[in-house]
Every structure is written in C-alpha cells, then in structure tokens.
Amino acid sequence: MREQRGQEESRETAVSGSSSGSRKSPASILLTVLFCLIPLAYCAIAAALMYGVSRSGIYPAGSDVTYHIHRADLVCRGLVSGNFWPSYDPLWYNGVEILRYWPPLTAYLMGFFELIRGGDSFGGYLLFIGVLYLLDAFSWYIIGAKSGRRFLGAFFGAVWFFLPVNMFVLFGEGNLPRALSTAFVPLLLFAVMEYMTAKRWGQLIAIAVFMALTVLCHLGYGGMVALGLLVFLLLYIAINRKAAGFLDVVLALVFGFALTGIWLVPSLVGGISNVDSSETMAGFFQSLALSLNPVRHYEQGLIPSYFGLVGFLLACFGLLFSNRKSAPGFLNGILVCLFSSTAFYPIFKALPGGQYLWMMRFFSFGVCCISIGFIYWKSLKKWMIVLVCVLTVADSLPSLYLALGKQENIQPADRFDEAQQGSMVDEAKAITKQRLLAFNEGAGGVIDAYLLSDWGGFTPTVFGAGWEASNTAANIAQLNRAANESDYGYMFDRSLDMGADTVLVRLGVIRDFQFQPENVVSSLDAAASSCGYKLYDSSDYIRIYHLSGAPDQWGTTAKYKGIAIGSQAFRVALNFPVFREVSSTNLNDFTYDDLKDYEVIYLAGFTYDDQEAAEELILKLSEHGVRVVISADGIPENHSSHNRNFLGVTCDEVKFENGFPELDTIDGLLDTTLFPNDHREWNTVTLDGLTDVWGTVEDDGLRLPFYGTGKNSNLIYVGLNLTMYYELTGDEQIGRLLSHVMDLSGSELPERTVVPLTVNLSDAGMTIESPEDGVNTGIAWHDMFSSADGKALAEENHLLYVDEGKTVITFTYPYLWQGIALSLAGLVLLTAFAAFKKKAADTGSAAGPCCEEPRIGL
C-alpha cells in the first residue's frame, strides 16, 4: 500500500514536471479562460443568494442572529458619530462591554455594510451574506489554483457555503462570527499542508495571519481550530513519517494568536475563557445515526448536526486508497465525526479542560479536512471525482431551505411587529424611563432581547443576549432563579437594586403558575406593591409593573440585616432577601468594621488566604453579638491538614439516597420530602466538634450531628446542605428550621430608598451627580471605568456605587499596553522567524525543490 502511494506521488510529480514546460494547447487555453471567468459565476450566485434570502420570509435567520445585528448597529452608529471603538453599550445588562468579550471582526464588517446601506440593519445583513459567499468561494478558488486542482477547487468554492455544516452555523444558529471564520479555515489548513510538504517559508506568514483572522472572528472556535490542526499535524507525521516543520507550524499558530493581543488580552483577563461548562458541552455530542442520516436530513430540511454522509464515506474510501498527502485529512475528518458520538462524552468530560471540547462544533473543520484531502488526491479517476461532486450537491440541497425558506417575501419588520403583538412589550417600553426588566420564558431567545431593547426605539434593559459579555451575569442568574422558584420578594427588591422602573412578567416563568395561577398572581401583586411597584396593565399571561412616582434617573440605598459571603451564599438570599450579596468570597477582604453592624452573617463557600486571621475575625464578631451562620458544606479545605475545619468544628462526609432519614431537631422530628429527581444522591457533610447539638440524623445506626453551635451561641453550623435543599424543594419544615437558624423571616426585605440621580452618557464616559454617599447607581461595574477627577469609584455585587456630588467617569481601554505589547511581540517574532526561515531556504536552495524561492503566503 505504502509503495503504491509512493509510486502515485512520483507519477503526479512526473506528470506535473513534464507538462510544465510544454506549449499550451488550444484546449488548455480555453480551460484557463473558463477558469478565469468562474469568479463572474461566483458573483452571480452571490447576487442570486442575496435576492433569494431577501424573499425567504424568514431572514435574518438563526437563533443568535439579532445579537450580531445589535453589535453591528452599535458599530454603525459609532462610525457615523466618529466613535471608532464604541466600547460601551448602555442597552443591555445595565451597560456592557459588548466588543470586549466577543471578537470584533464580524461586528465591524457588518457595521460597515450597514453604513453602506444607509443604516439599514437588514440590508447590511444581506450584503454580509453575499460577501461571505464570495469569501468562501475565493478561498477554495485560490486553493485550487495553487494546488493544481483548479476546477475541483472552483467547485468547492461554489458549494462550500452551502454544505450542511456551514449552512446550519449561519442560518440555524445564526452564529455569524463562526460562519465568517469558515472562509479563513480552508486557507489556514492549506497553508499548513503546503508548509509541511514544501517548506515554503511564506506559508508561515499565511498560517499566522489566517489564524489571527479566525481568532478575531470567534475566539472559542479559533481555539478549537488550533487544537484540530495539532491533531492533524500529528496524524500527518504518523502517516508520512516526517516530523520536519511541526514546530515551525506550531510557532506560527502561536504568533497568530499573539497578533490579536490588543483585543485578546482584555478579553481573557475579563473572563471569556471561563464561559464554557460541561453542562453546555453535553449538548454537542449525539448518536452517529443522527450525524450521518441523510434521510432525516431530507425530511427535516436540515437536522442541526448533520455531518454529511457523502463526505464521511469519501473519507473512509480515501483513507484506504488515497496517497499520504490526503490520508491525514481524511482520517482527521473521520475522527471528528466519531468523537462527536455520545459514547465519547464521558471520556472527554473527564479530561482536564474537557469542558471546551464541544465536538459537534468541530464538524466544519472536519469537513474542511476531508475536502483538503480530496484536493490532494490527484490520482483519483475523473469519473469518480464527478460522482463525488454530484453526490455532494445532492447531499446539500435540503440545506437551502434554511436560507431560502418558502419564498413568502415577508420582510423582517413585519415579522418583528407580529412577534410583538400580544406581548405588551410596546406598552412596557412606552412607560420605561430608566430601565426595563422582562422576566420571560426564553421562547424568543436573542430575538426577544433585540425586540425589547432595539426594535421600535431604544430601551435600556436589565437582561440582554450574549451573557458572556455581561459583568452582571450572577445578578441575572439570581433574578431568573427567583422567578422560576417563586421568590417574589427577591424578584422585585432586586429589580429595584438593578435600577428597573418597569418590570414585565410573563407568567410562564413562574414555576407554580400552572398549578395555582390565582395564588401566583396575588402573591406577585403583593410583592411588587411592597417594593413600590404598581400594576400598570395585565393580560391572562403577562403583567406589567411600574415604579410610580420615581424620577427619570435614580439609584438606591439599602440597609440589610444580614450579609452573605461565599460562592454558595446566593442560595440563602433567594429565601431571605434581607441578606446583602457581595462579589468577594474571601473573608480576608473584610474587616471587623465592615461587618460589625449586621445582625446576621451567613458563610457558604467562603475562602481565605489566612485561616487564622479569618477565624479570629469571625470569632470576634460572634462574641460581640453578631449571629454567624456557617453552611458546613461550604467550609474550605485546610491547606495543611487537608480536612475541612473551621473554628474547631470538622466536617465528615456522608451520602444519602432518595431522601433524608428523619431529622431530630430542637424544633421536633422532621419528616422531609424526597430529593428532586436530578439529585437522588445527596453528597453532604455532618459535623464533629459542636458545643451544643441542635439536630442529628441517623446513618448506619449512628446519630450524626448536623446542626448546632460552636465556640459560642452566636456561632451556628448547619450541615446536610439544607439551604440548597430548601431552594430545590421548598420544604416548609426546612424553611422554618432555617428561619430559626437565621432568626429572620423569609418575608423581610431590605430597607431600600430611591435616590434621584443625574446621569449623562457620552462616547467618552459618563458623569453622575448624587445627593448623598453610597448610592447604588444600578449601572454595571466595569474595570474600564476610570475616575477623571480622582474621586473614588466603588463596586458591590457587580454594580457601581458613587458618593455625594459629581462623579466624572472616563471609558478607558483596559489592559491596552499589555495587549499592544503582545501584538507587537507577535509581529516582531513572526517577522524574525520568517526572515530566519527565508535565509535558511536561500542558503539551502541548491539542496532541492523544497528549498526553492518561496511563494509568499498563498
């Protein structure tokens, strides 16, 4: 087999060499002219595509598409006003750095197209679609020309945009940045192949540039592509037994990431690298019967994760019979498809960093690898090439529905107006002066966020889309939990905290509404009234509340009875809204003066740098009359002893199944409800070292303490993770026990006061005038805020606090010099590296064709 492949490669080289110096025949000239005319065909297809999409009746299509249209609008408005980096968007999430955490290339490209179309968002989108098709087409057109497979490359140029994996990304997910990256990935992979086979130094520049462009489209996908390329290189080395060039390519990829440093550094420091999770990851694995099912593909128009049966079979056939250049691409494509099956999910989940392996997102890269392998398979019979091309077109035809719909010619404005009918959004927006908070069931997704904030006039909102860019993500999650779990007092009190003067509640979000609708409505109205909100209007499934009498701009001050500290402290605030939530989990960040005026301190999932100092602080507070409640499940592990001990009380691990045994407490025997279905195994702790035991539970015949006091009566420990249990089940007995523990009522609310503010926003910053100190502005805190007059800026629970007088804030570009330094380092190192490789190639030019004068880039 290896000898046969080597002979095929020799024949390919011989044929290529013998024909290169011969005189071109009329047929050859005709083919060259035809090849040169193909770009005109591309332009015609792009124009027809834009026309077809404009009449589809479903455009702009995709679940996330309006998020990217929103960003394009921001950029377009910035370009018009002369603000070429609109770093701050006041419409979503109480103010958000929307260009910081999602790469800017797509937003600027779409914003420019929107500008060309006179500010027409949807016209800009159509132009983006047409240009994207041309970028895809010319990528493969160039690959075909450079590889000697002109017409096969031209064919892939014509169909690459329409392949199922790419169509779903663009028109199903509406992920425009990842769709744009598919225009650069083929050129990136081709540059890698060319360097590994011919060692032309100019390809290193191409690798770095195309890697940088991919990152500036979509950072997460750029990381996936880089990982996929590493696997591809390892397969290439294993099959060809040639490792030369591997490190060169890896360095070029690293330099590509470095080139984007001016954007990459603030993005990563801000936390976008932490947005993925294993829970989300689970949705990107599926049965191979779905990934390779063309029948279902035809039935549904396009299943979300159709890899493509024709491509997979081509890869299998090519792996057995093609040459060594093609085999790595074919094998890589096969592995991508196989590894996306549900059987591999537990394996990848257990790997370090495995939460980033969203395997079905590799589909486009896997198909690209197969296509590159097909390009390099030059010994394949022409009739087989034609057959594969015909089958590829047939396999892609159902995907056209995603772009073309039923050609109903319904325009986006009509669709969006229809979507708002019956939603009462227009009414809510009309009365909103400062900020709108809409609790909704998520059916509208990103489109719903766009309708609330952009459509029919701009309205700042508490929620939005693309939560990865939000500094108030924890606040948003809490509000959603409160709505889902019927914590009405928390819902409306924290709506005030977030500066919302209008609250729209779609009753479908309330967990209990389907069981007891009348009780839910009356409870909502009562909770809203207790926070100053009055019912403005309602329908059977929607209620609008408005903060009557509030000024146009305002903030709040609040007095809390308690403070909750730790990563799990959010749970107690839902049931006891009188607890203040704070950003820091570290006890060493707090002083005695910070905490001494609270009646209750709740610790759950707290941390410390100095355990002795943390224990001294908590003991001093408890001795001076502050009630300290410690959720034992959140006590950190001691760095030296590796046990979980705090102030003499030690945690012992225990597990219960289905439900707790009877709990024996000072309030009597408690027969609690069973665990929720998705928490049948309850891993928790009991306690050793309590001074007074207030509660025990039986396990294997032993009575284990789970509740009681420590060194004094104000130092109270609670095990069994009861706060989480109460949040999940709402068990009234546990609710009463926790009320006893806290010495608080779940119906108590903070003493919150509305304070009038004057806020003036500009492209460069904002000024805030406040009549008193310590006012929560309801504006999200960002590290891009800088005090222009030296006045201190304060942050608490991800929100901005100001003192009396005028506060002048300027918007800065965070980590600017660090980002510039990384970009410059990438540019300098890439230039030096390419120069070194060029010199080495020039010096060794007599050694053979692999060291010939290089072709720059592609």
Q: Tens digit of pLDDT for each residue in 711-732? A: 999 999 999 998 888 888 888 8
CA dist 767 to 323, 432, 742, 763, 787, Å? 67, 21, 40, 12, 10
CA gap 617, 637 in Å, rounded: 18
CA gap 793, 760 in Å, rounded: 17
> What burial letters (b/e) apply to 543-565, b meaning 16+ CB within 10 Å?
bbbbbeebeebbbbbbebbbbbb
Runs of H (alpha helix) within 434-486: 445-453, 473-484
Parallel, antiparallel or unpaired: strands 627-631 and 702-709 = unpaired
Q: Is residue 192 pLDDT above 70, yes or no?
A: yes
Q: What's the pTM value of the predicted model, to 2 decimals?
A: 0.88
Q: Is residue 852 pLDDT above 50, yes or no?
A: no
More confident residue, 729 or 547: 547
Report residue 469's pLDDT band, with 50, 70 and 90 as the boundaries.
Answer: confident
Q: What pLDDT, on a 0 to 100 scale, did the predictor assign at position 673?
A: 87
Q: What pLDDT, on a 0 to 100 scale, did the predictor assign at position 302?
A: 46
Q: What pLDDT, on a 0 to 100 scale, did the predictor assign at position 778?
A: 96
CA gap 662, 813 in Å, rounded: 58
Runs of H (alpha helix) within 715-786: 722-729, 732-742
Neighbouring CB atoms inside 10 A of 706's CB total 28
Q: Is residue 279 pLDDT above 70, yes or no?
A: no
Report residue 210's pLDDT band, with 50, 70 and 90 as the boundaries.
Answer: very high
Q: What percent of the chain has pLDDT over 70?
A: 92
CA gap 605, 603 in Å, rounded: 7
DSSP bridge partners of 765 = 810
* Structural tokens at position 199: 């060692």
Taking residues 604-609, what's their average pLDDT?
Answer: 92
Q: What pLDDT, on a 0 to 100 scale, did the predictor assign at position 111?
A: 97
Query: Judging by beta carbons within 10 Å of its beta carbon (0-12, 13-18, 19+), is residue 36 exposed, middle or buried?
Result: exposed
Contacts of 57 (CB under 8 A, 6+ apart): 405, 406, 407, 408, 409, 410, 415
> What burial letters (b/e) apply to 59-89, b meaning 16+ CB within 10 Å?
bbbbebbbbbbbbbbbbbbbbeeebeebbbb
Ranking 349-358, 360-369, 488-497, 556-565 by mean pLDDT, the lowest is 349-358
Q: Is residue 332 pLDDT above 50, yes or no?
A: yes
Any idea what the Cα angle at residue 669 is, between residues 666 and 675, rounded to 5°? 115
Instruction: Report the Cα 622 to chain-centroid distance in Å.
Output: 42
Angle at which helices 363-376 and 219-240 pack, to 10 degrees? 40
Q: Is residue 831 pLDDT above 50, yes or no?
A: yes
Report residue 4's pLDDT band, with 50, 70 and 90 as the boundaries.
Answer: very low
Contacts of 702 (CB under 8 A, 6+ apart): none
DSSP bridge partners of 138 = none
- The segment with the largest mean pLDDT, out of 176-180, 647-651, 672-676, 686-690, is 176-180
Cis-peptide into 854, omega within 30 deg: no
Q: What pLDDT, on a 0 to 100 scale, did the predictor assign at position 277?
A: 52
Helix, strand, or coil (residue 745) = coil
Q: What pLDDT, on a 0 to 100 scale, did the predictor assign at position 443?
A: 46
For 284-311, write each residue's pLDDT tens digit. Answer: 778 888 888 887 665 554 456 788 899 9
More confident residue, 828 or 465: 828
Contacts of 704 (CB under 8 A, 6+ apart): 652, 654, 686, 696, 697, 698
Q: What pLDDT, on a 0 to 100 scale, did the predictor assign at position 72?
A: 96
For 83-130, write each residue's pLDDT tens digit. Answer: 999 989 999 999 999 899 889 999 999 999 999 999 999 999 999 999
* Structural tokens at position 746: 């779940």
Q: What pLDDT, on a 0 to 100 scale, did the predictor assign at position 18?
A: 42
Which contacts qualify for 585-590: CB closer than 8 Å, 24 or more apart?
A: 587/614, 587/617, 587/618, 588/613, 588/614, 590/565, 590/617
Residue 310: which of 286, 287, 293 has the closest Cα? 293
* Structural tokens at position 371: 């296509």
Q: Are residues 367 and 311 in contact, defined by beta-carbon separation less than 8 angstroms?
A: yes
CA gap 495, 493 in Å, rounded: 5
Q: Is residue 850 pLDDT above 80, yes or no?
A: no
More confident residue, 459 or 787: 459
Q: What pLDDT, on a 0 to 100 scale, did the predictor assign at position 491?
A: 95
Report residue 857's pLDDT band, with 50, 70 and 90 as the boundaries.
Answer: very low
Instruction: Report the Cα 454 to chain-centroid distance in Å.
Output: 21
Report residue 853's pLDDT band, with 50, 70 and 90 as the boundaries.
Answer: very low
Neighbouring CB atoms inside 10 A of 616's CB total 13
CA gap 537, 40 in Å, rounded: 57
Q: Is residue 412 pLDDT above 90, yes or no?
A: yes
Q: What pLDDT, on a 0 to 100 scale, did the predictor assign at position 13?
A: 44
Taking residues 636-663, what's their average pLDDT?
Answer: 87
Q: Are residues 66 and 447 in contact, defined by beta-carbon separation less than 8 angstroms?
A: yes
Report residue 434's pLDDT band, with 50, 70 and 90 as the boundaries.
Answer: very high
Q: Is residue 10 pLDDT above 60, yes or no?
A: no
Q: What are phi and psi of 688, to 5 degrees?
A: -130, 130
Taking residues 226-242, what's their average pLDDT?
Answer: 94
* Structural tokens at position 214: 């991919």
DSSP bridge partners of 533 = 547
* Structural tokens at position 323: 């040459």
Report residue 3's pLDDT band, with 50, 70 and 90 as the boundaries.
Answer: very low
For 339-376, write each residue's pLDDT tens digit. Answer: 888 887 787 777 776 666 777 788 999 999 999 999 99
Neighbouring CB atoms inside 10 A of 279's CB total 8
Residue 777: which of 797, 751, 748 has the closest Cα? 797
Q: What pLDDT, on a 0 to 100 scale, did the predictor assign at position 701?
A: 78
Residue 110: which of 182, 187, 45, 175 has the closest Cα? 175
Q: Is residue 851 pLDDT above 60, yes or no?
A: no
Q: Are residues 582 and 563 in contact, defined by beta-carbon separation less than 8 angstroms?
A: yes
Taking residues 626-643, what's their average pLDDT?
Answer: 86
Answer positive or negative: Cα dihedral of 770, 774, 777, 780.
positive
In the sheet with 600-603, reading across from the earlier edge strand, the strands are 579-581, 562-565, 600-603, 627-631, 715-718, 702-709, 692-699, 663-665, 668-670
For 655-688, write each residue's pLDDT tens digit. Answer: 998 889 989 888 888 888 888 887 888 999 999 9
Contacts of 54 (CB under 8 A, 6+ apart): 126
* Structural tokens at position 366: 């896997």
Only one residue has tokens 């705090």, namely: 646
Q: What pLDDT, on a 0 to 100 scale, did the predictor assign at position 19?
A: 41
CA gap 182, 169 in Å, rounded: 10
CA gap 115, 82 in Å, rounded: 13
Taking residues 242-268, what's their average pLDDT?
Answer: 95
Only one residue has tokens 């996936």, namely: 224
Residue 729: which of 664, 657, 683, 675 has the closest Cα? 675
Q: What pLDDT, on a 0 to 100 scale, did the predictor assign at position 638?
A: 80
Q: Are residues 100 and 111 in contact, defined by beta-carbon separation less than 8 angstroms?
A: no
Single-letter residue type at 373: G
Residue 490: which of 582, 576, 603, 581 has the closest Cα? 576
- The segment with the largest mean pLDDT, out of 268-282, 344-358, 531-545, 675-689, is 531-545
Helix, strand, or coil (residue 304) = coil
Please give the mean pLDDT across all residues of the chain.
88
Query: Judging by beta carbons within 10 Å of its beta carbon (0-12, 13-18, 19+), is residue 290 exposed, middle or buried?
Result: middle
